[in-house]
Amino acid sequence: MIVAEEVTRVYRMGKVEVRALKGVSFTIADGEFVGITGASGSGKSTLLHILGLLDRPTSGRVLINGRNVQKLSDRQQTLFRLNRLGYVFQDYALIPELTAIENVIVTSLARGVSEKEYLKRGAEVLREVGLGDRINHRQSELSGGEQQRVAIARAIVNKPSILLADEPCANLDSETSKSILDLFKQLNEDLNQTIVMVSHEKWHERYFCRIIDLKDGLINSMRECDAGR
For ligand ATP, the closer CB: 41 or 144: 41
Q: Determine the Cα–Cα distance for residues 17 and 14; give it in Å rounded to an integer.
A: 8
Map residue 135 onto helix, strand or coil: coil
- Three-state DSSP at 152 gives helix
Cβ atoms of 80 and 119 within 8 Å: the answer is no
Q: Name the minimum Å distance from CB 41 to ligand ATP.
A: 4
Distance from C-alpha of 52 to C-alpha of 36, rounded to nearest angstrom: 14
Q: Which of 14, 15, 17, 40 binds ligand ATP (CB under 6 A)?
A: 40
* Binding status of residue 52 toward ligand ATP by CB under 6 A: no
Q: In what order do the strands lie in the sheet with 85-88?
A: 85-88, 162-166, 194-198, 33-38, 210-215, 218-224
Please select the residue that binds ligand ATP; options are 2, 4, 24, 42, rule is CB under 6 A: 42
Report d(CA 74, CA 76) in Å as an integer. Answer: 6
Q: Which is nearer to ligand ATP, 13 or 75 (CB)?
A: 13
Subset of residues 154 to 193 that bind ligand ATP, contact rule: CB under 6 A: none
Contact between 17 and ligand ATP by CB under 6 A: the answer reads no
Q: How far apart are CA 138 and CA 101, in angstroms?
A: 9
Query: Which CB sits closer to ligand ATP, 122 or 217?
Result: 217
Helices (H), the chain: 44-51, 74-84, 100-109, 115-128, 144-156, 174-190
Residue among 126 and 211 whose Cβ is closer to ligand ATP = 211
Q: Does 41 bind ligand ATP (CB under 6 A)?
A: yes
93 binds ligand ATP (CB under 6 A): no
Q: Does 11 bind ligand ATP (CB under 6 A)?
A: yes
Q: Does 199 bind ligand ATP (CB under 6 A)?
A: no
46 binds ligand ATP (CB under 6 A): yes
Residue 43 binding ligand ATP, by CB under 6 A: yes
Cross-strand bridge partners of residue 210: 34, 224
Applying CB under 6 A, among 35, 38, 86, 122 the residue interacting with ligand ATP is 38
CB 187 within 8 A of CB 31: no
Which segment (40-48, 63-71, 98-106, 134-142) binds ligand ATP by CB under 6 A? 40-48
**Residue 203 CB neighbours (<10 A):** 11
41 vs 132, which CB is nearer to ligand ATP?
41
Task: Closer to ligand ATP by CB, 113 or 222: give it.
Answer: 222
Interface residues toward ligand ATP, by CB under 6 A: 11, 13, 18, 20, 38, 40-46
